[in-house]
Chains A and B, each alone.
Chain A
Amino acid sequence: MWNAVWKALANYPSEWSLVHKMKKTFFRLRRELSPWPRLPGGAHFAACHFCDTLHEAEPLAEGKAALCRCCGEVLYQNRPASLARVTAFSLTALILMVVVNLFPFLVMDGAGIRTTLNLVSGAKALVASGSPLLGIALALFTIVTPLVLASGLLYVCAPLMIGKIAPGATHVAKWLNRMEPWNMIEVFLLGVLVSLLKLDKVADVNFGMGFWAFGVVMLCMAAAVSGIDRDELWDRLEVARK
């Protein structure tokens, strides 16, 4: 049952919609402008991450995924316009981060005092009230990781669009890969929602502009991270380096 669901998710049939046709034309044009470089040398291989089965890696059409013939997990994908997507979304996320820091997340009126919460105040309050470790963890997962992830993706992917490699980009790409699971923007947003409900009876709490901006940052980061086509990115890095 799960196999069927997984396969359906991996190559969903979206050929019917008009949007898809427009996207297809756009991607064809884009592909012709900067094609995915094929590496020199003979056959290329891919090993499944789950069962280590060796496959000969054949080029895929955009939007398709290759599944492992042994365990059925996704082996590799050709994600459409990955570099353009990653660049656009991570740039948007970075710009919005500035907005997030200018406006409060939550505004609370209680007992005649107005308190506001912004991105850094949670971490700062934890450090100030005697839990520096928790404060550092909070800052790492909700501020540092998203910032580094977005700027790193931009640093690696933007020059690659014109076939250039930024200095040290391979190292940056390697570390971005390891940082990915520690980006917890969406969990923090859920935390803001839970706190709002928790304080509802005590005081008058309202969402600020920062909350909505951070919501968009979350969507952008999710789009950027899921836009990364690992194989294409590394093939391009390898070709650009030579």
Chain B
Amino acid sequence: MSDRFPRAVEMGLAGCQTCGKVSPLVLGRCPRCDSKLFMRKPDSVRRTVAFMLAAAALYIPANVLPMMSMVEMGVVTENTIIGGIIYFWQGEAYPIALVILTASIIIPLLKMVALTWLCLAASGKIKPSPGTLSRIYWLTELMGRWSMVDIFVVGILVALVQLGNYMTVSPGPGALAFAGVVVLTMFAAISFDPRLLWDRFDALQIGSSPSKEIDS
């Protein structure tokens, strides 16, 4: 204990997630902003895993089903995410191809990998290194919104390209699935509590497992 910094939870104190005020946990609600006080975010790991599994399940239709269908002179072309990237790559628009590749494929994948890693570390399945992992968590929270760009592109194209018989664009089922992936991974990141990583780390230092209450 002596070489470790004191954690708020050991003194029965909790920092409010909304306003930051540190108050006794027994109060139940923050005296300043009336948010609920938690030792750790409730059911953090379980909620994160649930949101993530849902996102992973939606990730498949999001990539297989078309994001939008284009009717050009009566000919229907269906565009998937990867199709869009290949279209730009073949048109030698490399920067834009890379932007879509990063936003639509790499970020959601990396996010799911990162959250799996975080959940495994927080539940003690693998060795936690809280310094690095907190940084990864911070990045995950920051990057998630950028995946939404493909959905916005679909919306804009549907609104703009209504040229009667010449060319029209309509949204496909993949777009809804992909929007689901983005929103669910954002919820997953919000539900995760990085303090669990340090709880694990502390427990390893002391050589015992953290108490059941903190674990949940």
Closest residue of chain B to A131 (Cβ to Cβ) is: B171
Residue pair A51, B20 in contact (C-beta under 8 Å):
no
Which one of B13, B134, B159, B171 contacts A50 once the chains associate, using CB atoms below 8 Å? Answer: B134
A238 to B32 CA separation, bound complex (whole angstroms):
7
Residue pair A126, B153 in contact (C-beta under 8 Å):
no
Give the total of A residues in contact with B, Cβ under 8 Å.
70
Residue pair B21, A122 in contact (C-beta under 8 Å):
no
Counting CB contacts under 8 A, is B210 at the interface?
no
The smallest C-beta distance from A67 to any residue of chain B, in angstroms, reads 13
Max chain A Cβ within 10 angstroms of own Cβ: one of B32, B88, B153: B153
Closest residue of chain A to B19 (Cβ to Cβ) is: A234
The smallest C-beta distance from B5 to any residue of chain A, in angstroms, reads 4
Q: Which residues of B contact A121 (CB under 8 A)?
A: 159
A46 to B198 CA separation, bound complex (whole angstroms):
17
Give the total of B residues in contact with A, Cβ under 8 Å.
69
Counting CB contacts under 8 A, is B6 at the interface?
yes
Q: Which of A97-113 contact B (CB under 8 A)?
A: 106, 108, 110-111, 113
Q: Which residues of B contact A2 (CB under 8 A)?
A: 132, 135
Known: A71-B130, A137-B151. A202 touches B167 (CB 8 A): yes
Q: Which residues of B contact A44 (CB under 8 A)?
A: 22
| Contact mask for chain B residues 167-180; partner A; CB cutoff 8 A; 1 contact, 0 none | 10011000110010
Give the segment of A14-22, A82-90, A191-199, A216-224 that binds chain B. Answer: A191-199
Residue pair B11, A54 in contact (C-beta under 8 Å):
yes
Known: A113-B164, A230-B20, A234-B21. A195 touches B148 (CB 8 A): no
Give the segment of A30-38, A158-166, A180-188 that binds chain B. Answer: A180-188
Q: Which residues of B contact A138 (CB under 8 A)?
A: 151-152, 155
Counting CB contacts under 8 A, is B118 at the interface?
no
Residue pair B166, A111 in contact (C-beta under 8 Å):
yes
A47 to B161 CA separation, bound complex (whole angstroms):
52
A233 to B186 CA separation, bound complex (whole angstroms):
26
Counting CB contacts under 8 A, is B26 at the interface?
no
A131 to B178 CA separation, bound complex (whole angstroms):
13
Q: Which residues of B contact A144 (CB under 8 A)?
A: none
Which one of B150, B160, B199 contacts A106 once the chains associate, using CB atoms below 8 Å? Answer: B160
Residue pair A115, B20 in contact (C-beta under 8 Å):
no
Q: Which residues of B contact A12 (CB under 8 A)?
A: none
The smallest C-beta distance from A43 to any residue of chain B, in angstroms, reads 10
Counting CB contacts under 8 A, is B7 at the interface?
yes
Residue pair B176, A108 in contact (C-beta under 8 Å):
no
Would you call the interface of chain A mostly helix, strand, loop, or mixed? helix
Known: A47-B13, A137-B151, A137-B183. A111 touches B167 (CB 8 A): yes
Known: A46-B22, A194-B96. A135 touches B155 (CB 8 A): yes
Residue pair B156, A191 in contact (C-beta under 8 Å):
yes
Closest residue of chain B to A197 (Cβ to Cβ) is: B96
Residue pair B5, A69 in contact (C-beta under 8 Å):
yes
Residue pair A187, B156 in contact (C-beta under 8 Å):
no
Counting CB contacts under 8 A, is B149 at the interface?
yes
Q: Which residues of A contact B158 (CB under 8 A)?
A: 122, 125-126, 129
Counting CB contacts under 8 A, is B190 at the interface?
yes
Counting CB contacts under 8 A, is B207 at the interface?
no
A192 to B96 CA separation, bound complex (whole angstroms):
12
Residue numbers of A with Cβ under 8 A of B are: 2-3, 44-54, 69-73, 76, 106, 108, 110-111, 113, 115, 117, 121-126, 129-131, 133-135, 137-138, 141-142, 170-171, 173-174, 177-178, 181-182, 184, 187-188, 190-192, 194-195, 197-199, 201-203, 205, 230-231, 234, 237-238
Which 9 A-B pairs rank lowest in CB-CB distance, beginning with the nearest?
A191-B152, A47-B15, A125-B159, A122-B155, A47-B8, A45-B22, A51-B198, A111-B166, A234-B19
Q: Could you jot down 6 A-B contacts, CB within 8 Å?
A: A47-B8, A126-B171, A134-B155, A181-B144, A181-B190, A195-B160
Known: A76-B20, A194-B99, A230-B19. 10 other contacts (CB 8 A): A44-B22, A52-B199, A54-B22, A70-B5, A73-B134, A115-B160, A133-B179, A134-B179, A184-B152, A234-B32
